[in-house]
Amino acid sequence: MPNPKRSSADNCDEWVRRCKAGDRRAVARLVTFLESPDRKTSREASRSASALPPPKQVIGITGPPGAGKSTLLDYLISLFRQEGRTVGVIAVDPSSPFTGGALLGDRIRMGTHRTDTGVFIRSMGNRGALGGLAAAASSALRVLGGAGFEVVLLETVGAGQSASEIINLADTVCVIQVPGLGDDIQLMKMGVLETADVFVVNKADRPDAKHLFVQIQDAVRDAPGETCRVMRQLGKAFASSFTGPRWTPEVVLVSALQQTGGPDLLNAFRKHRAYLDAPEISAALRSNRLAREIHHQTCRRLKEDLDIRLAPGGDLQDVVDTCARGERDLAWAVEEAIRRSTTA
């Protein structure tokens, strides 16, 4: 029996066992392993975590800086705790390879829930998960699922491809908007409508909040059904054969600071959950999520292998050299790298 106190990848399965028994320290340890810059450790942690079930409900929270994401997270945790549900939070910051998620994490950990054992809060950054943050985040969700957290809140910042891959790990995506950022209509035009299942208009106490609320409601009503996020996710073939109704994003007026609007928001989440639980969608979504998880994990593995093989001394060094001497061109090198990857 390995000593689980050793911070090594060799005993990830033991940590997984402890995690399933509800050991919070094991949860924290496994997420740390997933983020490890040491390939062997992160790979082993990811393999162990993949035996765990994803959480029953993952709610993605995103929005522009200044929208009050932290305050809303805080409020949401309180609301779910009042319902007696345990809550995990994964806050992911893909925007900087330098800071990782440290700033985000510090900010959140200062909240009021740090002494509540029904709450687990963790931030993740890009430190050890370069190119594979979505893979690491999806494994972390399984760790929280395995530990029995009933609701997991997945916060991300940014609007890039990495952020979009991460937020799409959630069942329900909640986009926060606030009055006064000045680019509300612009954001609508830019496709935000397609990215949310639920809109929160935060800072409801502000005089122009109601106006923004109405604007978003109008935009949602005017939008054609194909903006439905889950249909986009499930692809054109599914969407064109699906005869059920399209989800229309809910718009909810909230003041996270003054703790108003919460019940409406939980209600919106429940409605969306019920929509996803319709058998036809539910089955397709389950396969779609698995396919995406397999994609993330497989890509990360292939990318890591290429890192090693293309580094000086790696088995593709001669391909690089041949190309550097100008004897063959880049197209040949790519074909050669693929040929050797697929016959290894």
Give the CB-side neighbour count of residue 324, counting CA atoms within 13 A.
7
Shortest CB 20 distance to a second copy, Å: 14
How many whole angstroms separate alpha carbon 42 and alpha carbon 34?
4
Binder among 37, 66, 225, 235 for a second copy (CB under 8 A) = 235
Closest contact distance (angstroms) between CB of 77 and a second copy is 27
- Position 211 contacts a second copy (CB under 8 A): no
- 226 touching a second copy, by CB under 8 A: no
Cβ of 117: how many Cβ atoms within 10 Å? 9
Task: Output the CA–CA distances (angstroms, integers) from residue 109 to 66, 89, 106, 120, 235, in the order listed.
Answer: 18, 11, 5, 10, 38
Residues whose CB is less than 8 angstroms from the CB of residue 323 and which lie 6 or more positions away in sequence, other chains included: 329, 330, 332, 333
Binding mask 91-110 for a second copy (x = CB under 8 A): ---xxxxxx-----------
Residue 27 in tokens: 């949860």
Cα–Cα separations (whole angstroms), residue 31 to 3, 36, 46, 120 = 18, 9, 9, 12
- Find the binder of a second copy among 4, 88, 105, 158 (CB under 8 A): 158
Q: Which CB, 36 or 48, lies closer to a second copy? A: 48
Contact between 248 and a second copy by CB under 8 A: the answer reads no
The least CB distance from residue 320 to a second copy, in Å, is 5
Q: Which residues contact 216 (CB under 8 A, 6 or more apart)?
A: 177, 184, 188, 199, 201, 251
Closest by CA to 154, choosing from 96, 146, 203, 165, is 165
**Position 317, amino acid:** Q
Which one of 70, 161, 280, 327 is in contact with a second copy (CB under 8 A)?
Answer: 161
Three-state secondary structure of 71-107: HHHHHHHHHHHHCCCCEEEEEECCCCCCCCCHHHHHH
Provide, rounded to whole angstroms, the least separation between the CB of residue 181 and a second copy: 14
Q: Decide if residue 175 touches a second copy (CB under 8 A).
A: no
Instruction: Using the minimum distance from each CB to a second copy, give the nearer residue, 231 or 268.
Output: 231
In 87-238, the DSSP E strands lie at: 87-92, 119-124, 151-156, 172-177, 198-201
**In this chain, which of 37, 131, 225, 263 binds a second copy, going by CB under 8 A?**
131
Is 246 near a second copy (CB under 8 A)? Answer: no
Measured CA to CA, the distance from residue 279 to residue 236 in angstroms comes to 19
Whole-angstrom distance, CA of residue 272 vs CA of residue 245? 12
Q: Which residue lies nearer to a second copy by CB, 175 or 209? A: 175
Q: Applying CB under 8 A, which of residues 47, 81, 107, 232 lies at the interface with a second copy?
A: 47
Smallest distance, a second copy to C-beta of residue 134, A: 10
| Cα 183 from Cα 213, distance rounded (Å) | 14
Identify the burial level of 7 via C-beta atoms within 10 angstroms of its C-beta, where 0-12 means exposed, 13-18 middle and 19 or more buried.
Answer: exposed
Determine if 253 is a binding residue for a second copy (CB under 8 A): no
Residue from 144, 159, 170, 201 touching a second copy (CB under 8 A): that is: 159
Among 130, 181, 220, 257, binds a second copy (CB under 8 A): 130
Which position has the token pair 């391909």? 319
267 binds a second copy (CB under 8 A): no
- Minimum distance from residue 251 beta carbon to a second copy (Å): 20
* Region from 30-38, 74-82, 143-151, 230-238 binding a second copy, contact rule CB under 8 A: 230-238
Binding residues (CB under 8 A) for a second copy: these are 47-48, 50-51, 94-99, 126, 130-131, 133, 142, 158-164, 190-192, 194, 235, 237-238, 283, 286-287, 290-295, 297-299, 301-303, 306-307, 310-312, 316, 319-321, 323-324, 329-331, 333-334, 337-338, 341-344
